[in-house]
Amino acid sequence: MDPAPSEFTPSRGTDAPSNSGGGDRDATEDALHHHTALLYGNQRQQFDAVVPIVRDGLERGERCLYICDDNDEEAVTAAMRAAGIDVEAAVEAGDLSVHSAEDPFLSDGEFEPADTVEFATDAIREATEVNGYDAVRIVGEMTWVLDGEHSLDHMVEYEHELNDVFGSRPVTGVCQYNVSRFDPELLNQIIRAHPTLVYDGTVGRDFYYVPENAVGGESGSASDDGPGGTLLERVSAFETLERRERALSALNDATEELMGRELGNLPERAADVVRQVLDVPFASVWRYDGATGDLELDATSADPELGTAGGDGRTVTPLAERYRDRAWNAFVTGETEVHADPSTASDRAAPNPRLRSGVIVPLGRHGVFCAETTRPDGVDDPLVDLANTVGTTLTAALDRADREETLAEQNEQLERLNRINRVIRGIGEALVDADTRAEIERLVCERLAASDPYEFVWIGDLNREDDAITPRATAGDRDGYLDDVGVTSGEGPTGRGPIRAAVEDRSVQVVQDVLIEPAFEPWRESTLEHDLRSCISVPLAYEESCYGSLTLYAASPNVFDDLERSVLGELGETIAHAIEAVETRRALLSDAVTELTIAVDGTDDVLADLARVIDAELAVDGFVGDPAEPARVFFTIPGVDPDGVLDRSESLPGLSDVRVEGETDAGHAFSATVSGPTLASRVVDNHAAIRSLGVTADGATAVVDLPVTSSVRSFLEALRASYPTVELVARRNRDRSMRTRRDVREAVADRLTDRQREVLETAYLSGFFESPRARTGRELSRTLDVSQSTFSHHLREAERKVFELVLDYC
């Protein structure tokens, strides 16, 4: 059973020393002093601490002696075997021996310190000088002291003599004391005779340790100061010990609180603890900022008597700033720095006390703390030792808080990842059963809007008619939001932004805070009114195709981190792939084509040359013949002088026989013979049909029909072999189905006006199209009671639309 702290006064101190110097260390490390006291409350604590010490010595090739008393030899060797020590082999080799307490301590039934010291000296000499061991470990259980009348003076004398013997020889001695059996007063005195303590498996310097000539030494004529001086030294040493005990007690009281604090508010409390435990008027804590690569003042604590600004003692930045350079040096070297009198002459002349000396202690990778006093000689060795103990405690607290914060962030990130994966898995399963693009878009929005932290979700696509992003599906509790916002065309305020950028650049766009993002300014007011603070817009892109963007909103800023950005980006690709699959499946079940809008920058074919020399845009109306061979091309140019076009085109190679065909509402119509490769010929060569082709001095834009069975990627790669700047602007599947007479009738009816159809049917049924004609146009105009010119106009329009229908289908 572990002893209660109240039963053993120094138990409070045994924790604190383990935090000294370089921090907590396992008892098997080189931190062991030549003479160490090991405290334990039960057998498990004892063996957990002492057996690793023996094992470590054997592994180092040292001679190990174990003196048992509290336990018998069988229990000791069993514990060694359980720890992996081959006891039999070690004993047979002479590396290990187990003795009873009578051998070294009670040879004649009485304890004589000199005899015991002689036993230890002989054992060390025999092991090192005779048997060739480099070092010796002597580990002894001390409960034999309780079995006889052994005086306190003899025990303290014996322990001090061991310090002399062990300090000058290659030996490590460990004295084991069962705190549940020893009188606290006796333990207090024994602990003061050991430079090092091991308690609960941890080794540290013993701040209760007092050398023999400091307290308890002989007072006599050998002292230069005489008996009075010796007494003064004793009193001073005693007061120093008392101060240490009080300081360590205060530190232990504060440790539990520090260990329970979060990283953000720990430095403020740490500054108070430093000032309280070290009993100094000023303390500051500096934290290392990884972003700036510098130490930043994080917290201060000051005695109001310093007279600095701030009143509450927490805003004394000018005082703290004096130590910035020294603080950095201590942080970089990792060594405690003591300094004296950083004050200026004006400081020293001030009526209020000023800081005159101090100590700066590194806190590992976290930073440093500074403790300052108003006395020039206010930092002595005991204060430095205590400051190092405080530093180790604070470092441990900061490490713990940092680990807890990191773990919490990792758990939160993992939970978010699991949440996102669950949503995406559900969406993926639903996509498999979706039959249409509209169904895919609807279920994606609904599933995402039902998952935290997404408040509103919508999918939009680029409408080529007005160049705006048009919503296709929405979900979430923000009715009317899209009525208040819009992504329009052009370079106006709402013509650009993250949503359009996602579609045009095909990259994920994140707005972490609507309130401060400049690019979101046109939509800020309405978005904030709907309690939305951040958003992410994900392109629905797969290979060469883009089906718009998926935009999600959250009610808090800084929601969409790198992980969420990556996962939602992959989801966008999955959605686009699913849309492409259903569109392709639908197209294969109908007589449809894949309509592609492509753009080419800087094309150098003959039509682009013509656009450059006339400085105008031309629209290609069609070809007669094979564009791959010299062919007749028909094109329209708005707002130009026809004669000027004819004159400037004469010098262009590859263009001949340019003619003016007439004038339409769209501009002047021309035709010309084109030879050599053109964008049109490359399109036809790759089994696509041209629906429209616009050419400017800077490039060309074409709308082409590709069979649904053809690969869009292969088609574009083939074009890029001749035109590397080809980009896919838009893609959609377009039905071209007219499988029944009803389909034909409906298509004709959609295109012709009633009057045009009446004129066309009358002409057809009256034999107007026979050769020779059964009736003339004049006769038919009288029949229809219209002028001949009106008849001719309606007939030509009807013919044009029917031919357009036929050629488009074919």
Residue type, 430: A
Candidate from 298-312, 382-396, 534-548 with smallest mean pLDDT: 298-312
Same domain membership, residue 317 and residue 174: no
Within a domain: residue 70? Answer: yes
CATH of the domain at 180: 3.40.50.300
- The Cα 48–Cα 36 span in angstroms is 16
- Give 783's Cβ-side CA count (13 Å radius): 15
SS3 state of residue 164: helix
Tell me the CA distances in angstroms from 363 to 247, 333, 370, 405, one per residue in order: 19, 11, 11, 18
- Asked if residue 251 is part of any domain, the answer here is no
Which pLDDT belongs to residue 252?
A: 67
Of 332-341, 378-387, 493-502, 697-706, give the range with the top mean pLDDT: 697-706
Q: Judge whether 520 and 496 are in contact, CB under 8 Å.
A: no
pLDDT of residue 62: 92
Residues in the chain, total? 810
Choose one of 362, 388, 404: the last residue of a domain.
404
Q: The tokens 């039959």 sit on which residue?
A: 435
The reported pLDDT for the residue numbered 637 is 92
Element (H or E) spanning 454, and its range?
strand 454-463
The Cα-based distances of 539 to 137, 165, 417, 499, 549 in angstroms read 71, 79, 20, 9, 4
- Phi-psi group of 480: left, alpha or beta (phi > 0 → left; psi -120 to 50 → alpha; rest → beta): left
Residue 153 tokens, joined: 């003076």
Whether residues 501 and 621 fall in one domain:
no
pLDDT for 505 equals 86
* CATH number of 341's domain: 3.30.450.40
One domain, residues 564 and 650: no
Same domain, 600 and 582: no
- pTM given for the model: 0.43
Residue 767 above 80 pLDDT?
no
Quick one: DSSP state of residue 688? -
Same-domain pairing of 98 and 196: yes
If asked whether residues 375 and 501 sit together in one domain, one would say no
Q: What is the mean pLDDT of residues 255-275?
A: 72
Residues 340 and 390 in one domain: yes
Tokens 């119509």 sit at which residue? 669
If you average pLDDT over residues 754-780, what whole number do you get?
A: 80
Q: Using the 3D structure, point to which of 525, 559, 588 is the last residue of a domain.
A: 588
Amino acid sitting at position 297:
L
Q: Same structural domain for residues 693 and 567?
A: no
Cα-atom radius of gyration of the chain, to the nearest Å? 47
> How much is the mean pLDDT over the chain?
78
Q: Which residue has the higher pLDDT, 84 or 256?
A: 84
The verdict on residue 446 lying in a domain is yes
More confident residue, 786 or 113: 786
Distance, CA of 798 to CA of 752 (rounded, Å): 6
> Per-residue confidence at 581, pLDDT binned at 50, 70, 90?
confident
Same domain as 159, residue 35: yes
479 assigned to some structural domain: yes
Percent of the chain with pLDDT over 70: 77
Claim to verify: residue 138 and residue 198 sit in the same structural domain: yes
pLDDT band at 273 (very low <50, low <70, confident <90, very high): confident
Q: Tell whether the model's pLDDT for residue 304 goes beyond 90.
A: no
d(CA 510, CA 522): 16
Nearest to 440 by CA among 455, 422, 461: 461
Is the residue at 576 inside a domain? yes
- Over 60: is that where the pLDDT of 29 sits? no
225 vs 370: CA distance, rounded Å = 37
What's the number of domains the chain is made of? Answer: 5
Per-position b or e across 724-761, b if 16+ CB within 10 A of its CB: eebebebbbbeeeebeeeeeeeebbeebbeeebbebbe
Helix and strand counts by DSSP (H, E) for the chain: 26, 26
pLDDT of residue 700: 92
In this predicted structure, the answer to whether residue 293 has a pLDDT above a threshold of 80 is yes
The Cα–Cα gap between 121 and 741 comes to: 119
pLDDT at residue 18, as a whole number: 35
Q: What digits encode the pLDDT tens for the residues 514-542?
A: 999 888 888 888 899 899 999 999 999 88
> Is 374 part of any domain?
yes
99-108, 342-351, 727-736 — which is least confidently predicted? Answer: 342-351
**Is the pLDDT higher at 333 or at 152?**
333
Q: In this structure, are 676 and 749 located in the same domain?
A: no
- Rank 3-17, 21-35, 274-288 by mean pLDDT and report only the highest: 274-288
Nearest residue to 747 via CA among 739, 755, 765: 739
Structural contact between residues 732 and 703, judged by C-beta atoms closer than 8 angstroms = no
**According to the model, what pLDDT value does residue 350 have?**
46
pLDDT at position 701 is 92
Which pLDDT score, from 0 to 100, does residue 282 have? 87
User: 136-141 and 171-178 as β-strands: parallel, antiparallel, unpaired?
Assistant: parallel
- Do strands 202-205 and 196-199 pair parallel, antiparallel, or not at all (unpaired)? antiparallel
Q: Tell me the pLDDT tens digit for each residue of 129-150.
A: 889 898 999 999 988 877 766 5
611 assigned to some structural domain = yes
Q: What is the pLDDT of residue 20?
A: 35
Tell me the CATH number at 805.
Answer: 1.10.10
SS3 608: helix
Helix axes 562-588, 437-449, angle to 10 degrees: 160
Long-range contacts of 712-721 (CB under 8 A, 24+ apart): 712/543, 712/544, 712/545, 712/594, 712/596, 713/543, 713/544, 715/596, 715/686, 715/687, 715/688, 716/544, 716/598, 718/682, 718/685, 718/686, 719/598, 719/682, 719/683, 719/686
pLDDT of residue 209: 66
Please state the separation of Cα 370 from the chain's center in Å.
32
Domain end marker among 735, 767, 789? 735
Its domain, for residue 633, covers: 592-735
Highest mean pLDDT among 21-30, 213-222, 396-405, 486-495: 396-405
How many Cβ atoms from other residues are within 10 Å of residue 661's Cβ? 14
Question: What pLDDT was estimated at residue 56?
Answer: 92
Q: Which residues pair with 395 in a beta bridge?
A: none
- Report helix, strand or coil for 390: helix
Express each pLDDT in 427-443 by its tens digit: 888 888 888 889 999 99
Using the predicted structure, report yes or no on whether residue 543 has a pLDDT greater than 70. yes
pLDDT above 50 for 232: no
Residue 175 lies in a domain: yes
Least confident interval from 87-101, 171-185, 434-448, 540-554:
171-185
Q: How many other CB atoms are found less than 10 A from the CB of residue 686?
A: 17
| Contact present, 562 and 585 (Cβ < 8 Å) | no
pLDDT at 71 over 60: yes
- Give residue 493's pLDDT band: very low, low, confident or very high (50, 70, 90): low
Degrees (nearest 5) of the Cα angle 210, 213, 219? 130
CA distance 373 to 256: 27
**Mean pLDDT of the region 418-425:** 82
For position 227, what pLDDT does the model report? 34
Strand order in the sheet with 367-373: 294-302, 282-289, 367-373, 357-362, 337-340
* 200 — pLDDT class (breaks 50, 70, 90): low
Same domain flag for 476 and 538 = yes
Q: Tokens 């893609």 appear where? A: 731
